């Protein structure tokens, strides 16, 4: 037994001497391995396909952009307020308080004055036609050709005719004609059709056509000469369609007739309406009409001659009012009625056979009461 123990001790010592230390296991580092990928080889065919795709995509983008711009501009154009073409101001953003505001009466009156001043300034450059034989002058635009003058013609009644047109083509341009007639009758409320080539009586008209043609008396020219407006509308029972101004001065009657390139005096011709729409310049030219008076030189004398009495010009012949100062008043019992004593009153219309002045016509009724 003791021998056996000895062997065990010796064995344990040997084991201690021969026992080696084992190495410690350490975790290995996970190093990523560099993997080199092979790049694909791009052929020429693939490059051509990509190039075409890029070009197609660019064209599509460009078309979309153009359509977007066109849509936005079109929408702005429809919703934008209209611009004033007569304004000298440059376009820009206006204050909200002044947009779409109606003009006041003062602004409208100011605009009218400005337009009149511009028209007067323009007329300063107009040419002047003077007719010494018949004693009148009239202005017309600078760009118009000089007027054509013609004398009496067989079958017509005028003694002289002066023709203006806007262009050198008389039949295809607006303009006006002045017909000069011998004053064989007065220019009155009742016009006889036999004095003028511009006033035609219908075949169906009655012999007494005193109630057919009521003329408006007013003034024309620089000195506001008394004249009448001959205005026969479609359907007039006595006269064919016509429209012109008639002025009596001295021994002559002057008919100022507008000429429209669309035609005049045809069936259905509504003169005043069509002249205002197509040739409103006619009235501006007529407003320059003038009959200048050449005063003779006054001799150096000590005696003075009394001035002649100035009377209102007569525009008709016949019996005149017997009273020097008729004092026109309205009737308290008769109401609107025809004149009975050739003395005009505000509630009366003219009586055939009485002589009235332009002033008399101005205070009387223009049309009878029915």
Query: What does the pLDDT read at residue 310?
Result: 41
**H helix or E strand, kind and range, residue 219:** strand 216-220
Radius of gyration for the alpha carbons in the chain, expressed in angstroms and rounded: 51
Nearest to 79 by CA among 88, 87, 91, 71: 71
CA angle 351, 354, 357 (to 5 degrees): 105
Query: What does the pLDDT read at residue 90?
Result: 39
Residue 137, strand partner residues? 130, 290
Query: What does the pLDDT read at residue 96?
Result: 45
SS3 24: coil
Residues 6+ apart with CB under 8 A from 170: 148, 163
For the chain, give every domain's residue range.
120-286, 313-370
Q: Show pLDDT as tens, one digit a residue, over the chain (370 residues).
A: 454 444 555 555 555 555 555 555 555 555 555 555 555 566 777 788 888 888 888 888 888 888 888 777 766 655 454 444 344 443 344 444 445 566 777 777 777 677 666 666 677 889 999 999 999 999 999 999 999 999 999 889 999 999 999 987 877 899 999 999 988 765 555 566 777 888 888 888 877 766 676 677 778 887 888 888 888 888 888 889 999 998 888 889 999 999 999 999 999 999 999 999 999 999 999 999 999 865 444 444 445 555 444 444 445 557 778 776 677 888 877 888 888 888 888 888 888 778 777 677 777 876 664 4
Distance CA 157, CA 149 (A): 15
Could you please state the CATH topology (level 3) that the domain comprising 120-286 is classified under.
Protein Transport Mog1p; Chain A (3.40.1000)
Distance CA 182, CA 253 (A): 6
CB 356 within 8 A of CB 315: yes
**H helix or E strand, kind and range, residue 105:** helix 105-123
SS3 319: strand
Backbone angles phi, psi at 79, to 5 degrees: -90, -10
DSSP string, 113-148: HHHHHHHHHHHTT-EEEEETTTTEEEEE-TTSPPPE
Where residue 284 falls (left for φ over 0; alpha for ψ -120 to 50; beta otherwise) is alpha
**H helix or E strand, kind and range, residue 72:** helix 44-79
Query: What does the pLDDT read at residue 262?
Result: 92
């Amino acid at each position: 037994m003791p021998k056996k123990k000895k062997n065990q001790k010796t064995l344990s010592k040997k084991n201690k001497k021969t026992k080696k230390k084992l190495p410690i296991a350490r975790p290995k580092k996970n190093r990523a391995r560099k993997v080199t990928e092979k790049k694909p080889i791009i052929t020429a065919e693939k490059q051509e396909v990509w190039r075409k795709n890029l070009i197609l995509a660019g064209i599509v983008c460009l078309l979309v952009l153009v359509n977007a711009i066109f849509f936005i501009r079109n929408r702005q154009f429809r919703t934008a307020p209209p611009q004033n073409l007569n304004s000298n101001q440059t376009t820009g953003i206006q204050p909200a308080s002044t947009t779409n505001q109606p003009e006041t009466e003062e602004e409208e009156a100011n605009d009218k004055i400005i337009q009149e001043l511009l028209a007067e300034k323009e007329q300063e450059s107009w040419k002047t036609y003077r007719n010494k034989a018949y004693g009148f002058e009239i202005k017309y635009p600078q760009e118009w050709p000089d007027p054509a003058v013609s004398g009496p013609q067989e079958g017509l009644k005028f003694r002289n005719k002066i023709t203006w047109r806007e262009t050198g083509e008389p039949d295809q341009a607006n303009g006006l004609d002045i017909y000069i007639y011998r004053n064989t009758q007065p220019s009155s409320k009742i016009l006889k059709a036999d004095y003028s080539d511009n006033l035609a009586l219908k075949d169906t008209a009655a012999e007494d056509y005193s109630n057919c043609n009521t003329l408006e008396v007013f003034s024309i020219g620089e000195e506001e000469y008394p004249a009448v407006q001959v205005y026969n509308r479609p359907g007039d029972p006595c006269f064919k369609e016509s429209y012109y101004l008639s002025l009596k001065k001295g021994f002559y009657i002057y008919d100022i007739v507008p000429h429209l390139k669309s035609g005049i005096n045809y069936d259905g011709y509504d003169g005043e309406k069509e002249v205002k729409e197509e040739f409103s310049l006619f009235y501006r030219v007529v407003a320059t009409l003038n009959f200048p008076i050449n005063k003779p030189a006054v001799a150096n004398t000590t005696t003075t001659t009394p001035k002649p009495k100035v009377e209102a010009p007569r525009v008709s012949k016949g019996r005149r009012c017997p009273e020097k100062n008729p004092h026109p008043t309205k009737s308290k019992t008769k109401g609107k009625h025809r004149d009975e004593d050739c003395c005009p009153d505000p509630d009366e219309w003219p009586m055939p056979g009485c002589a009235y002045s332009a002033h008399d016509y101005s205070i009387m009724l223009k049309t009878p009461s029915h």
